[in-house]
Structure 1
């Protein structure tokens, strides 16, 4: 690929403008703690188990909020050092070395667009920097409390099912659909008074998490999570009940997507090595789910019950009074 004239680069040395950007980002992260508390908890919890999730926590979680606060102070005390780091980050990001371009458009228009894309890429510098390892990021204690002023809690517990011997099977989508709708909804929201309860699973990393939203309880919610395996062992679904659970799961997998979403999905599948054959196998496993699959997953979730990590976002008083030995970090 031929290199054209270099692209003009944005100036990074406007200290006041950068200060405004950092303060706005910090304020946004702080204001999102309560309304997005379950996602804050989930991001932190997943970071315990997989390098990709540790990166996610570093750039979009509590760790990022703490970083922004330190950065705001450094802008005042060490602006030359901050500017040097900004330049170093740009040198790594604005480069055609290792670049992947994902384009979504009509096939008939790609011929006209391709030369423009090639010209743009050719203008990027071809610099390579030493890659940082996700393992160099901060590790976390097994059981964490994230303290901020609140009258409710966001309670999470999870683990990496692949590390516990689980092999990916599409039935987990059906099982989670039923757990959210029946078990967690009944025990945590209706009986426990929380605003919401969730079971999530990432089929790429293997990380499984249980979460609650605006939850007046803490220890009692963890007890519900720990009872999931026993609940699944007792499942005896009728054909109609199983069919409804399967329909709910397959509908989420094959949800309608607009072109931009299709393009993003294709990129993530490329990056993770997902294939059409594996996706079809996963769909077939969803459609062929049986009660025996519920019982099989119970064994894995029982192991997670005993080895899983805990993250709770809530008031310091609630975190300390739970007597769970949480390592508490002040977030607000």
Structure 2
């Protein structure tokens, strides 16, 4: 949505199929959506337990995502709900219902059945379909039957409330490395998004963050991002440092203020940026991009404007981004996932320190 503080939460059901199997695919989609037996409590508990186990096994290796989403969840509504649906907030939810499943199984099944009614209605339906004319004709003929079976009830729109906060959080584990994330929002500070920020992301990835966090600091990786809604982040991956990396993030403002490279190097950064924007796409990828643009109300003109801003980037225009990055960093949303001792040694950086895994019991060596 071009109103950058607006967002949508959508549930996606998708498939890939040969044209002659389109009716069968739609039948399977309908059966999965409307005929799933949530009161098969044994199977439901298995799925919840497996989901929790998979999250826990991946969280230490995906600590940068956990830290970034948790940091973002405190400053923007879209970040808050992203964290609830695929970040640490989702883990807490799964852990809670798994722990008390036997007492809440009827409630859980009832909620899932109610969600089916609320989500899968004809009014909510948006379809993206990729095929040639022959495929479209076959889809059109079969889709009428599918759409005719959708729930036609209308429900009032719920107003979600989001309250920003800033609780600098350290999540501890037995990991020997850290994932350090700093987040902020420059639109809240009065600045606007520009395509030059995409070039800055590439510059950070190949120069400033790469050299200071990866090469000198010894981290396995480092990333940054700048969203059109103003959300921005910098994060390290498998990082032996903590405080030092956070200082490097702060010092990025001085780097931008003094940024100056040759025309040849500037061209390399621009080419790298355009390469990320205009990668060759198969039909499926084209469909994903066009559907994303449709639901976000992004036009060809919007894409071209951003592309022109990228192509027109100069060292001077990069230096002009310093106040934007400084505004986001000043909000100082910090989240770190990492080693118990390392985080507690820097306890003054945090408002809250807690175990990454809810059921974790710190061993004696950690307590020391």
TM-score, length basis structure 1: 0.93
Over the aligned positions, Cα root-mean-square deviation in angstroms equals 1.7
**Alignment match, 2:217:** 192
- 2:318, 2:188 → 1: CA distance? 19
Flag the 1:140–1:127 CA change in 2: closer, same or farther, 3 A: farther
| 2:226 is aligned with 1:201 | yes
**Alignment match, 2:186:** 161
- Superposition deviation, residue 304 in structure 1: 2.4
**Alignment match, 1:109:** 135
- Superposition deviation, residue 291 in structure 1: 1.2
Secondary structure of 1:256's counterpart equals coil
- 1:325, 1:223 → 2: CA distance? 14
**Alignment match, 2:103:** 77
**Alignment match, 2:284:** 260
**Alignment match, 1:210:** 234
Residues 144 and 312 in structure 1, CA contact (< 8 A), matched pair in contact too: yes
- 1:194, 1:252 → 2: CA distance? 24
Count of residue pairs the alignment pairs up: 325
- Superposition deviation, residue 303 in structure 1: 2.2
CA deviations 1:127-175 (Å, max 9, x no partner) are 2334444425x86533111222211110000111111222121111111
Secondary structure of 1:231's counterpart equals helix
- Superposition deviation, residue 331 in structure 1: 2.1
Residues 15 and 75 in structure 1, CA contact (< 8 A), matched pair in contact too: no
- 1:125, 1:176 → 2: CA distance? 44
**Alignment match, 1:88:** 114
| 2:66 is aligned with 1:40 | yes
Partner of residue 178 from structure 1, selected from 194, 203, 207: 203
User: Which runs of structure 1 show a deviation greater than 6 angstroms over 4 or more consecutive aligned residues?
Assistant: none
Give 5+ residue unaligned stretches, structure 1. 1-5
Residues 95 and 124 in structure 1, CA contact (< 8 A), matched pair in contact too: yes
**Alignment match, 2:305:** 281
Counterparts of residues 1-332 of structure 1 (less than 5 Å): 9-135=35-161, 140-203=165-228, 205-322=229-346, 323-332=348-357
- 2:143, 2:124 → 1: CA distance? 15
Give 5+ residue unaligned stretches, structure 2. 1-29, 358-368
